[in-house]
Amino acid sequence: MLKDENMFELSDKDYHRIKDIIYNVIGINLGDSKKELLRTRLSKRLRALSIDTFDEYYNHVTKRDQSELTHLFDAISTNTTSFFREMEHFKFVTSTVLPALIEEKKKKNDREIRIWSAASSTGEEAYSIAMTVLEFLRPQLGWNVKILATDISTKVIAKVEAGIYTEDRVSTVPKEMLRKYFRKGRGELAGMVKLKDEVKNMVYPRRINLQVAQFPFKKEFDFIFCRNVMIYFDKETQLAIVDKLYRHLKKGGYLFLGHAESLTGIQTQFRYVKPTVYIK
């Protein structure tokens, strides 16, 4: 007989052991208050694996099957996002970032724009950037715009790859853009919308852990969105990540953080522009 989800007991010892793996690998510090959340979310995994106890699950993830780590992180990550979330950032990109960037690139005869949506979740952020850039550049031709969308969770990266959203998810997309850049789903995609290739082809989804020692990029980015993820990390982890982001941003490039985040108290070379916006 299958166990009911609520029947799995999570001892303090197992909570701390699993919490430590999460902190050491992805930098998220669950603290002491998330035991119930972890128990509920991971109970589904135990059930799927026909594992009876969290002690056995700990052994499974550490000794038997390290690929289970991906499911562990998927289970605990919070993926809340939306199209054009924190609209002021997109307005700032249009009014300030892109005009200067395009002018500078034209002078250098450089036609490539590289943007990074770090911790992109299901892609709404990266696709909102793509539409913002398209709106700005039109009708100029000949620009190669690449938006890297990365996240620790394979589940969300698969959604970026699909580029398909339920109709309620696009309620925050300006009507004109919705008409221009999305196609209405039919048949089995009824009630859904799909991004047109023009937008979809600008976004490159990839699984990347912000906690890795070094990011695998050779070229610098023109600007980086790293929003609503720092909040889950402690100061030490934030400092290490901000430092790496700085190194991968070109001089004069902008860093955007989430509405509740700031670099206050973090030693960094970034210069403050306005709340949640920094420049190298």
Ligand X SMILES: C[S@@+](CC[C@H](N)C(=O)[O-])C[C@H]1O[C@@H](n2cnc3c(N)ncnc32)[C@H](O)[C@@H]1O
Q: 69: burial class by Cβ within 10 Å (0-12, 13-18, 19+)?
A: middle
Among this protein's residues, is 74 annotated catalytic? no
State the Cα–Cα distance between residues 254 and 119, nearest whole angstrom. 16
Of residues 64-93, those binding ligand X (CB under 6 A): 77-81, 85
Task: Provide the minimum distance between the beta carbon of 128 and ligand X in the complex, in angstroms, as a whole number.
Answer: 9
Amino acid 51 reads I
Pull the structure tokens for residue 166: 């339920």
List the catalytic residue out of 39, 45, 151, 222.
151
User: Which of these is catalytic: 41, 47, 169, 243?
Assistant: 41
Nearer to ligand X by Cβ, of 132 and 228: the residue is 228
Helical ranges in 50-184 per DSSP H? 54-59, 68-76, 87-92, 98-108, 124-137, 154-162, 175-181
DSSP bridge partners of 221: 249
Find out whether 177 and 145 touch, Cβ atoms under 8 Å.
Answer: no
Q: How far is the CB of 79 from ligand X (least distance, A)?
A: 4
Take residue 51 and report the two structure tokens written for it: 């594992």
Q: In the set 22, 119, 133, 230, which binds ligand X (CB under 6 A)?
A: 119
CB of 59 or CB of 82, closer to ligand X: 82
Shortest reach from residue 276's CB to ligand X, in Å: 11
Binding mask of the shown chain, residues 139 to 178, with x at each position contacting ligand X by CB under 6 A: ------------xxx--x----------------------
Q: Is 41 a catalytic residue?
A: yes
Cα angle, residue 114 at apex, residues 109 and 120 outer, rounded to 5°: 165
Residue range at the interface with ligand X (CB under 6 A); choices 31-39, 58-66, 89-97, 223-231 = 223-231
Least Å from the CB of residue 74 to ligand X: 8
Number of chain residues interacting with ligand X (CB under 6 A): 24
Catalytic residue list: 41, 151
